[in-house]
Amino acid sequence: MTSRIAINTIDQSVWFTSDTHFGHRNILKFCEKTRPFESASEMDAALIRNWNAKVQPNDIVFHLGDFSFGNLTHTKNVLEQLNGRKILIYGNHDQVIRDNQSAQDYFEACVDYLRVKIDETTVCLMHFPIFSWDCKGHGSFHLHGHTHAAYLNGMKGRFLDVGVDARSDQGVWSWAEIRERLNAVECMDWN
């Protein structure tokens, strides 16, 4: 399913994140440099604390997939603790949410791909990085997760991994910092 919405940041703050992997013990091994925690529960508590330190209840949070590795009860418990109006772009590890309407009910939308307009900028959201996205040659941004900040072949363009492993503080990305960072990148017209 593809959806399109428009957001004006005068009304609320907009945040982005991905690959939180709540409840995933093995992510501590896979991403040991960015997840210096002794246990999955310690990681979960830190990620929840970092999220809520920035996100207010009426803010919009786009989560670009791989939200939780926990079971339905664990996933819902985490969702109940997080501030903001949440929109999920499904990742490859979001089956618990895909399969359970009660988990989906914590989100305003759950989709595979989303195109939004934020302050007149087109932003294409998907869990996976894609080489070419809508309006790529016209200044649009592509935000994704999945790579855990590991880019291959020095690809350049107005795209960004917004996952927690792409930050030193395991926090969420603000629209202001994304806009500033990507507006400084040359617009590549590869379409």
- pLDDT tens across 94-124, in order? 999 999 999 999 999 999 999 998 888 889 9
Beta bridge partners of 159: 142
Predicted confidence (pLDDT) per residue in 18-49, tens digit: 999 999 988 888 888 888 999 999 999 999 99
For tokens 């803010």, what's the residue?
Answer: 59
CA–CA separation, 151 vs 69, rounded Å? Answer: 23
- Classify burial at 187, counting beta carbons within 10 Å of its beta carbon; exposed 0-12, middle 13-18, buried 19 or more: middle
What's the confidence (pLDDT) of residue 28?
86
What's the confidence (pLDDT) of residue 191?
46
Q: Which residues of 135-154 are buried (b: 16+ CB within 10 A; e: fewer)?
A: bbeeebbbbbbbbbbeeeee
Q: Which residues have C-beta within 8 Å of that of residue 119, sequence separation ≥ 6?
A: 7, 8, 9, 175, 179
What's the confidence (pLDDT) of residue 35?
87
pTM as predicted: 0.91
**More confident of the two residues 53 and 146:** 53
